[in-house]
Amino acid sequence: MTPMPTPTGSPGVIRRRSCLTLAVAWTLASQGVHAQTRKLLRISTPAVSDDWHARMWTVLKDQLEQTAPGQFDVQINLNASLFKQGAEPVAMARGNLEMATLSAFDIAKLVPEFSIFTAGYVIRDPAHLMQVFNGPIGQELFKRVAEKMDITVLAPIYYGTRQLNLRDRRNVRTPADLKSVKLRMPGSREWLFLGEALGATPTPLAFGEVYLGLRTGTIDAQDNPLPTVKSAKFYEVTQQITLTSHLVDVLFIGVANKFWNHLSPEQQARLKGAAQSAARYNNENRIADEKQLVDYFKSQGLSVTTPDVDAFRKSVQAAYLNSEYAKVWPKGLLERINATK
């Protein structure tokens, strides 16, 4: 029987073409498999791009690319562009978000004993903060976070020491001098309580709206660590910084267990290692920055004043100890934190 002529020419050409087709199909298929096995790792943060706890995510991403090449698809979403500030834990529980930095304030909503870290003048300095969270206290509390929030804490980070930042110059010596000052705080009752304990009139506002609030005068003041006053440019719309040092603040790099539990032990180790490098990068830069920023703000025309910090400490500590928050602090926890060196 005569073979049917084909429009494509000789049998040799056909063989070469099918080899090529096979090769292309193979490449596409393997890329498909590759894309499927890359684990989507979405990160959401309200941080602005210049802040250290925003930049640290790039450290995490780069390290993962080196230690687990092609295994993770890390997507960093800054400026609360994916989830609004404070909404991250719910998004993580629902499987819509894999990683975020959580504040003690976010955690305290579900693990009430965490409110001890929302109280002013409990943690003394960055070194104390790291001793507390990298030791047995941290271990016990992170277990509670995993149980109650389905989130694994990979590393605590130092967010900085919160200071008052006022729109207009004002003599601030003691909490009484903040009477009627509209102090912006993030919008949860734990934050508002801190503002009240400082003697001010707390006004809830999302981080992304603070710059405009200060510029237009809907708020009189805000509180944040100095590196954030710089990176979010609050110094452009304020005239004074008062060094109350009322909260040595911590954030926790957390990962949703819905995601974490589906990683291999090796992937978990790589991700944890990358989170720890990111934390180190943040901590070192932030601590260095805090040492030199007072001079920077002065050079920008701001007054930087030191109040009677003891008066603030006494008044804030009393407010917490007499509050409903202290009632749920596990017996002896405050003493253990105080005794941690």
Q: Using CB under 6 A, list all residues that contact ligand KDO.
A: 45-47, 51, 53, 85, 103, 186, 207, 224, 228
DSSP at 116: G
Coil, strand or helix at 306: coil
> How many of the other CB atoms lie within 10 Å of CB of 253?
27
Give 68 or 157: the residue with its C-beta nearer to ligand KDO.
Answer: 157
Give 228 or 283: the residue with its C-beta nearer to ligand KDO.
Answer: 228
Phi, psi of 31 (to 5 degrees): -65, -40
Phi, psi of 178 (to 5 degrees): -100, 5
Dist. CA 259–CA 275, nearest whole Å? 15
CA 302 to chain centre: 27
Min CB(261)–ligand KDO separation in Å = 26
Give 68 or 78: the residue with its C-beta nearer to ligand KDO.
Answer: 78
Dist. CA 237–CA 51, nearest whole Å? 18
> How many of the other CB atoms lie within 10 Å of CB of 209?
12
Min CB(207)–ligand KDO separation in Å = 4
Closest residue (Cβ) to ligand KDO? 103
Single out the residue of 159, 301, 161, 178 nearest to residue 237, CA to CA.
301
Give 63 or 222: the residue with its C-beta nearer to ligand KDO.
Answer: 222
Min CB(46)–ligand KDO separation in Å = 4
Give 68 or 253: the residue with its C-beta nearer to ligand KDO.
Answer: 253
Min CB(266)–ligand KDO separation in Å = 30
